[in-house]
Amino acid sequence: MSEARDRMGRLILALRSQGITDPRVLNAIENTPREVFVADLFKEQSWEDKALPIDCGQTISQPYIVGLMTQSLDVQPRHRVLEIGTGSGYQAAVLSPLARYVYSVERYKALLIEAKARFERLHLDNVITRFGDGGEGWPEQAPFDRIIVTAAAPVEPTALLAQLKPNGIMVAPVGAGPVQTLLKYTGDGQGGFRRETLCEVRFVPLVPGAAKDA
């Protein structure tokens, strides 16, 4: 077994022992080369279960959190999924084989250009991106079966909940401080939502408006 496969095997075991047991999610993580989504400096650490810095002062999430959020979304093959915060593109790449389409919005043009190049390189043709303020969602493509927010919303992101199908699921870190609550919203089919707390997390903030400098 090559060293890379060995490391990946250890990561998958670690995720499994922490409750990420959905085989489709584990397969998606196993088949997504995380080293492609980080700068050369961090490639050695790309299979460790930790968040790493990316450009524009942002971070690529810890694999466990990517696993937990992806598993909690319960994505089905025909689903259209909205992601807020493309960042490196890693989370979108993990969602890609599970969904029909992944729509991903990022407020930094520089990050989006790099992420798009990675999607092309890995032939992830069902990931569709947009530059702009994800806090407003993607009204032209709404409603979505699933929504994943990968930046911390200071308060409940109601504009995004409004773009979820009646029985949809949204997972989002919510809170204004350095530690936020990861919440799972499940639509009750009548315009209301059941809220479940998954765990405490540390995400970079959801910042209103598209970035002007990059």
Chain residues in the site for ligand SAH (CB under 6 A): 58-61, 84-85, 87-88, 90-91, 105-108, 111, 133-135, 150-151, 204, 206-208
Q: CB-based contacts of 151: which residues, under 8 Å, 6+ apart?
A: 84, 85, 134, 173, 203, 204, 205, 206, 207
Q: Are residues 167 and 192 in contact, defined by beta-carbon separation less than 8 angstroms?
A: no
Closer by beta carbon to ligand SAH, 134 or else 187? 134
Contacts of 11 (CB under 8 A, 6+ apart): 29, 47, 48, 49, 63
Q: How far is the CB of 133 from ligand SAH (least distance, A)?
A: 5
* DSSP result, 38-51: S-GGGGGGTTSSS-
Q: Residue 96's CB: how many other CB atoms inside 10 A? A: 23
Q: How far is the CB of 75 from ligand SAH (least distance, A)?
A: 15
Which lies closer to ligand SAH via its Cβ, residue 61 or residue 71?
A: 61
In whole angstroms, the minimum distance from the beta carbon of 201 to ligand SAH comes to 12
Give min distance, CB of 61 to ligand SAH, in A: 5
What token pair was written down for 109?
């043009």
SS3 of residue 54 by DSSP: strand
Structure tokens at 13: 């075991």
Helices (H), the chain: 3-17, 23-30, 63-73, 90-95, 109-121, 158-161
Closest CA to 67 of 207, 191, 185, 182: 182
Which of 61, 72, 96, 104 is catalytic? The answer is 61
Nearer to ligand SAH, 130 or 165 (CB): 130
Active site residue 2: no
Task: Please say which residue, 64 or 90, places its beta carbon nearer to ligand SAH.
Answer: 90
- Comparing CB distances to ligand SAH, the nearer of 106 and 145 is 106
- Smallest separation, CB 21 to ligand SAH (Å): 21
Q: Which residues are catalytic?
A: 61
